[in-house]
Structure 1
Amino acid sequence: MIRVLLADDDPLVRSALRLMLAGADGVEVVAEAADGAEVLSLVDAHKPDLVLMDIRMPTVDGIEATRLLRGRPRAPQIVVLTTFQTDEYVVSALRAGAAGFLLKHTPPAEIVAALRRAAAGEPVLSPSVTQRLIAQVIADEDDRGGTASGDSSAGARARAQLDKLGDREREVAVAVGEGKTNAEIAAELYMSVPTVKAHVSHILAKLDLTNRVQIALTVYDASRSL
């Protein structure tokens, strides 16, 4: 059973999500929060496996709530709810440790499938979406004159992170940053898929990251500062 906490300041959205998830086998909504400030205590009380988190909420927004939760031991997986085309905070949420994102108009069957993947520790991002996210970051930072993650301190930290990796791990990290699937990485680097998965696990552990999207963003930060 996947235990889900819903966090959204719109009661209609929460009601719709609860109704939708009630029809999904093996999924149970255990609590609802109207604000990020409520999420922490509700997680302590109900021990959900996953939090479906809105980004824009009063008092404590979804990004800060995600950061606080993912800093805890045995933290639940977090999937943010957003509108990709307009929400400039998506990347910040992913950096904070979210496993991915869902659009609020995503078909119900796809939402349920995504929650199952996230609960299993898989990122809820296809390679094409990863590439779009990184492209969005580049466009946003170019519009702002490169003042965000492209600054020298962020770039230096990212390069120092990548320096912790072995040669093959670095090659895998770069391929992840390009949005390639495990199968594509295996074919490109002449590895088996299980070997690629093992490298990804080692990279996450060495860099103290929570998902492959954060690997991609680390690679991006390092490359932008060169």
Structure 2
Amino acid sequence: MYRLNKFSETFLRLNQTKQKRQQQKPKKNKRSKHLLCLFGEKNITERALCLTITLEPSLYTVKAVLILDNDGDRLYAKYYDDTYPTVKEQKAFEKNIFNKTHRTDSEIALLEGLTVVYKSNIDLFFYVIGSSHENELMLMAVLNCLFDSLSQMLRKNVERRALLENMEGLFLAVDEIVDGGVILESDPQQVVHRVALRGDDVPLTEQTVTQVLQSAKEQIKWSLLR
């Protein structure tokens, strides 16, 4: 009887100790549980590595895509948020960005709290804008995809005049690469293919309107050149 009571006391103490340890043990949040499910809990090194990874959904986003001429004037601009809500603010930003980048050989700049990747060709300057914490490589992938797509569409004649004559293709290409600030495509071959398909799907009436507008634009352009 004495042994049984002693065993009961020992078991009770062990159970109490176990409960205290469980109460003192830090609770794992949802993220750490998710990490352990994905990567396991083999050793401390792996666990530490896992904890540095953020699992919250994150899409690489673009704030703006710009194309300026060699005077810093806008040829194309598409903003995906309200960082610069008015046209006046947008053009002031574009002038600022052009003045800071058009004489440098670098491809990346930080300006007004934003990450800017850019490249130039003949008389055109291409810019892709992201937030200060955005991945520069992803922004550069968007920039290269846009430039290479236009190069194929314009038969490697990427300059101001050729671009103005093919603005519709530019609009379609940008829409294929970025939608609402979210990067959709980084393969120029796919972009060119989809732009061609969308161009073929335009109804005859819309093609006629486009041709009329193109003709009017040509007449205005030649009248200005005379």
TM-score above 0.5: no
Q: Which has the larger radius of gyration?
A: 2
